[in-house]
Amino acid sequence: MLINKDHRERAIIFDRDGVINDVILRGETISSPRSFAEFQVRDDFVQLYEQIDPQFFSIFVVSNQPDVARGLLPKSELDRMSAAMLERFAFSRISCCEHDDLADCVCRKPKPGMIKSILDDFGFEPENALIVGDSWKDILAGKAAGVRTVYLRRAYNEKDMNCMPDLKIDRLVQLLPIMKDML
């Protein structure tokens, strides 16, 4: 399925947990929502989203959700989260890897499978796509797919900073000028 794209259309690919929605603290461990009730969309994401011009940008989500394979997150709950996002936001696709490391799949970030599928299926050149994430896995996946990489600093991820992203930002709205430069 190759769709002819307007030459100015670009792909913005978001990691999910910690970017679109809040991470969940379980004891000392940063975790992700394991029920729909724990899924809270972040205000800073909404503020950014409202300023993205859909005429120029298609928006995608790529998310590792290994808690499905681990039996900690019912797939039905994950699907509810995705449905809620699609209801609220004009995302072109939400991709979730539901595997654990043991499955050795091609989709689990830092592998680039989910990003490559987006580029192939929607007809984007890698240089016209950008991933933003709060984990080194997002950055390495983006690099492996050849897209631009933006690392979002959060209070909990300082030790992750050696993944060599193209850019680092402290606030999501800082993406807007970066996106403008892609056009």
Q: Which does 15 bind (CB under 5 to 8 A by kind): Zn ion, Mg ion, none?
A: Mg ion
Residue 17 in contact with Mg ion, rule: CB under 5 A: yes
108: partner contacted, choices Zn ion, Mg ion, none (Cβ within 5-8 A by kind): Zn ion
The smaller minimum CB distance to Mg ion, of residues 14 and 57, is found at: 14
CB–CB of 31/73 below 8 Å?
Answer: no
Q: Toward Mg ion, which CB reaches closer, 5 or 169?
A: 169
Residue whose CB is less far from Mg ion, 15 or 67: 15
Tokens linked to 69: 């394979």
Question: Which residue number, 114 or 175, has a Cβ lying nearer to Zn ion?
Answer: 114
Choosing from 16, 34, 99, 143, the residue that interacts with Zn ion (CB under 5 A) is 99
What sign results for the dihedral spanned by CA atoms 33, 143, 12, 76? Answer: negative
DSSP letter, residue 17: B
Contact 65, 96 (CB under 8 A): yes
The half-sphere exposure of 66 on its side-chain side, counting CA atoms within 13 A, is 10
**Of 12-20, 44-52, 96-104, 162-170, which segment contacts Zn ion by CB under 5 A?**
96-104
Give the residue nearest to Mg ion (CB).
18
How far is residue 106's CA from residue 59's CA, in Å, rounded to a whole number? 22
Binding test (CB under 5 A) with Zn ion, winner from 30, 86, 105, 144:
105
* Spatial contact of 99 and 69, defined as CB atoms under 8 Å apart: yes
Minimal distance, residue 152 CB to Mg ion, in Å = 8
Which of 13, 107, 131, 163 is close enough to bind Zn ion by CB under 5 A?
A: 107
Q: In what order do the strands lie in the sheet with 148-152?
A: 91-97, 57-64, 10-15, 129-133, 148-152, 167-169
Calculate the dihedral angle through the C-alpha atoms of 126, 132, 133, 137, rounding to the nearest 10 degrees: 20
- Residue 16 or 108: the one with the smaller Cβ distance to Zn ion is 108
Q: Contact residues for Zn ion (CB under 5 A)?
A: 97, 99, 105, 107-108
Q: Contact residues for Mg ion (CB under 5 A)?
A: 15, 17-18, 134-135
